[in-house]
Structures are given as structure tokens and as C-alpha cells.
Amino acid sequence: MKEILVNDLVFEYPGDEEGTPPVLVLKGLNLQIPHGQFLAVLGHNGSGKSTLAKHFNAILTPTSGDVIVCGINTRDEDRLFDIRQQVGMVFQNPDNQIVATIVEEDVAFALENLGVEPKEIRRRVDEALKEVGMYQYREHAPHQLSGGQKQRVAIAGILAMRPDFIVLDEPTAMLDPRGRQEVLKTIRRLNRDYGTTVVLITHYMDEAVQADRVVVIDGGVILRDGTPKEVFSQVELLKSVGLDVPQVTELVHELRAEGVPLPEDILTEEECFQAIKALFDK
């Protein structure tokens, strides 16, 4: 079964001998991520998003409860390799993820370590670079690239491994607005055109809005789980846990409070434009 299952996940960072106390972060979290979905995990800083993400490919294992990846329990140390093959991780800082001096060599790096045939490596590297729109940069040096381009190369390196799931932990946090847009577009395309299952950890609302499903984490549990429209229509709730809502949703929320009859689940400027126009067309 190609899915990630999280059952009653509790996780505590242990304390140490120098007196650092243990930190209980995840407090009984349940989640099922089916194959093919674009899921955004949203929560304010320190809410436990990264800690959860690290459970998806067994960088961390539960204090209690289970995480099952494609039928394999992440506690099963003998299957660590299989789990990491199935769940690829992309982190915040592209500079920490790029190891080679030429783009295509970087994308090939993990495959070479796995002993994949050179012809197959060539095929997968070209394919992965095309999927992220970086094929024409294949012979460039990574340090010549922008942040967004580097992050797309890092994503290609993961794609070349052909994982079932790609988990991106705040992949745009260190990028400028243009880089953020590039990476988000790439992520959406991977999911829509190539069927890659995407788990995007983020604290940006405008990114979460683009997912199929949004899970909001707060205080170590799931506070809300639904479509972007279902989740973002709860403006007061999101604000109460330190999250913003998209600006346009906030504007509509305030207009509704003043009695303007607009639908409450507006997420985009285009939807807002159409709804306001409809008022005047009546």
C-alpha cells in the first residue's frame, strides 16, 4: 500500500546529563497520506512540523505510536534503506544539499553511490532535470545559480531516486520571492503532471493554499485537516494559533463582518474579483 500512516505518534526529544530537560513535541498525532496527494502541513514556528517530517523517513522514530511507510514500520532498522528510497527529503538550505561542482553530477551523486548503471543514471538525471526545468543548466556550476535554481537542483537529486513521496521541509524559507515562486511552481507541476506525492511543510499561507489538503499542527496535535477552503475559512481559529490567513481571505472576512454578502471561502484575488463583480451584477 503506497501511503504514509501515522498512528498515535508521540515524540519527545530526550534531555541530557547537563540538565537540558526533555521536550515533548508531538502528543498523539494521527495522519494518513495517500499516494498522489499534495499535502501542506502548516503550523507556527516551533509547532513540531520539522519533527513530524523527520519521522516520515525515519530520521527520527516515535517515542510511542507508529509511522508506517508503504507498509514498513519506521522502527524496523533493517528496512531503513527501503524507507529512505521511498521517502525523499528536501530541506531549507540548498547549499547544504548540493555536493558536486557540476549540476548534473550533483543530481547523479546518490545514484552513483547506489551503484546504478551509468546508462540508467544518465536517463534518470536528464529526466529529473527536465521535471524541475533545469535541464539547460546541467553543465553549470551550482554556485552560479540563484537560490531558487539551486533548490530545484536539490529537488532533482531527490527525484532521480524515484521516491514514492517527496517531503519538503520549508524549501522556500531561504529564497527571495522569485525563487519561492519558481520552487512552488515546480512542486505543483511534479504533483499535477508527474503524479509525485508531495508533503510540503510550510508556514506560508499562500503556499498551503495551493495544496489539495492542508493539515494544521498546533501544540503537538492536528488542529485542522481539510481542503484549503475548509481550513482557511476559519480565520479566527487560525489567528488564535499564530497563523495568518491569505490577505484576500482576511479582507473578505472583514467585509462579511460588516454585512457584505460574500462567500467565506474565498482564497484568491480572482475568486474575490468574481464574487464582488457578482454582487454588482445582481
Give the binding site for ligand ADP (CB under 6 A).
13, 23, 25, 43, 45-51
Shortest distance (Å) from residue 49 CB to ligand ADP: 4
Shortest distance (Å) from residue 15 CB to ligand ADP: 8
Taking the least distance from each CB to ligand ADP, the nearer of 109 and 204 is 204
Burial grade of 129 (CB within 10 A; 0-12, 13-18, 19 or more): buried
Taking the least distance from each CB to ligand ADP, the nearer of 41 and 107 is 41
Shortest distance (Å) from residue 232 CB to ligand ADP: 19
Taking the least distance from each CB to ligand ADP, the nearer of 118 and 219 is 219
Taking the least distance from each CB to ligand ADP, the nearer of 51 and 191 is 51
Taking the least distance from each CB to ligand ADP, the nearer of 68 and 217 is 217
Shortest distance (Å) from residue 9 CB to ligand ADP: 12
Shortest distance (Å) from residue 237 CB to ligand ADP: 18
Tally of CA atoms within 13 A in the half-sphere of 31 that contains its CB:
32
Shortest distance (Å) from residue 170 CB to ligand ADP: 7
CB-based burial, 234-256: b 16+ in 10 Å, e otherwise: bbeebeebebebbebbbebbebe
Which neighbouring-strand residues pair with 64?
10
User: What is the rounded CA–CA span in Å between residue 98 and residue 105?
Assistant: 10
DSSP string, 20-53: PPPEEEEEEEEEEEETT-EEEEE--TTSSHHHHH
User: What is the rounded CA–CA span in Å between residue 269 and residue 264?
Assistant: 13
Give the Å distances, CA to CA, from 195 to 27, 49, 57, 134: 32, 24, 20, 19
Taking the least distance from each CB to ligand ADP, the nearer of 48 and 148 is 48
